[in-house]
């Protein structure tokens, strides 16, 4: 399902105070982020056509504060310069993708990624491996 956001860019699926369970790079251009919301529902966020990504401060027990998605052309107005510099190894770079994905934590990992699309799925909807 397409990831829906409010007018500020925050995803509408419950996530605040949820637990970040893991991040998996499936290929050079696709990333899956799994989290469990406070009601116990597990979800997977799929980042498609990832151009740049930075994950910092990953710890046991990562607690999500917010998950935001911004159009690339609005990113410089919506996020800090320091966050954008994380994608360019300390300097701002032009964004190649269509959106900027940002997961902020109250404790633990922060993820910032420039990609073309963000999809949200229930972990139960994913095909089971045999």
Secondary structure element (H or E) that encloses residue 88, with its range = none
What pLDDT, on the 0 to 100 scale, is given for residue 126? 53
What is the Cα–Cα distance from 51 to 74, expressed in whole angstroms? 17
What is the Cα–Cα distance from 30 to 12, expressed in whole angstroms? 22
Sequence length of the chain is 130
Query: pLDDT band at 14, cuts 50/70/90?
Result: low
Q: What is the pTM of this model?
A: 0.85
CB 116 within 8 A of CB 49: yes
Q: Is the pLDDT of residue 6 over 70?
A: yes
What is the Cα–Cα distance from 18 to 41, expressed in whole angstroms? 9
Tens of pLDDT, residue by residue over 62-105, are: 899 989 999 999 888 888 888 889 888 788 788 999 999 999 99
CB 119 within 8 A of CB 3: yes
Q: Is the pLDDT of residue 10 over 50?
A: yes
């Amino acid at each position: 399902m397409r990831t829906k956001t409010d007018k500020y860019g925050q995803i509408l699926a419950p996530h605040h105070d949820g637990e970040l369970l893991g991040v998996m790079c499936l290929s050079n251009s696709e990333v899956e982020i799994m989290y469990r919301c406070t009601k116990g529902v597990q979800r997977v966020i799929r980042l498609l056509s990832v151009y740049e990504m930075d994950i910092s401060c990953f710890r046991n027990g990562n607690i999500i504060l917010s998950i935001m998605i911004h159009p690339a052309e609005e990113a410089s107005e919506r996020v800090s310069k320091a966050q954008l510099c994380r994608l360019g190894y300390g300097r701002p770079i032009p964004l190649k993708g269509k959106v900027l994905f940002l997961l902020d934590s109250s404790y633990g990992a922060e993820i910032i990624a420039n990609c073309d699309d963000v999809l949200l799925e229930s972990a139960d909807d994913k095909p089971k491996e045999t």
